[in-house]
């Protein structure tokens, strides 16, 4: 089992889900649908690119935020 990083953002009426490790993107009308669609897309990607698994970690990465006073 591998743990991949997923970022989900809301863009207009859709939730857009991105898998950071492989650059695969999908979408859905709900968060759950976006996640499920992304899972399917990543599985299809890995079928075509089995060597990509060597870059995966078996532990979850640390994801955090960064706050800026001014831009």
Residue 56 lies in a domain: no
As for how many domains the chain has, the answer is 1
Q: 19 - beta bridge partners?
A: 6, 24
Residue 58 lies in a domain: no
Residue 71 lies in a domain: no
pLDDT score of 53: 79
Domain coverage including residue 43? 6-50
pLDDT score of 52: 82
Residues 26 and 37 sit within 8 Å (Cβ to Cβ): yes
Q: Which stretch of DSSP H or E encloses residue 45? A: helix 31-48
Give the whole-angstrom CA distance, residue 4 versus residue 20.
7
Residue 68 lies in a domain: no
- The β-bridge relationship of strands 6-11 and 24-28 is unpaired
Q: pTM of the entire structure?
A: 0.79
Tokens of 22: 């492989």
Residue 45 lies in a domain: yes
Residue 64 lies in a domain: no
> pLDDT 10s per residue in the chain (71 long)?
777 889 999 999 999 999 988 899 999 999 999 999 999 999 999 999 988 877 777 777 778 889 999 87
Residue 33 lies in a domain: yes
Residue 67 lies in a domain: no
């Amino acid at each position: 089992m591998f743990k991949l990083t997923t970022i989900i953002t809301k863009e207009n009426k859709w939730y857009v889900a991105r898998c950071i490790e492989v650059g695969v993107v999908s979408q859905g009308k709900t968060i759950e649908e976006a996640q499920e669609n992304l899972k399917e897309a990543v599985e299809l990607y890995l079928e075509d690119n089995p060597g990509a698994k060597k870059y995966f970690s078996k532990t979850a990465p640390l994801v955090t935020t960064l706050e800026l006073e001014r831009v």
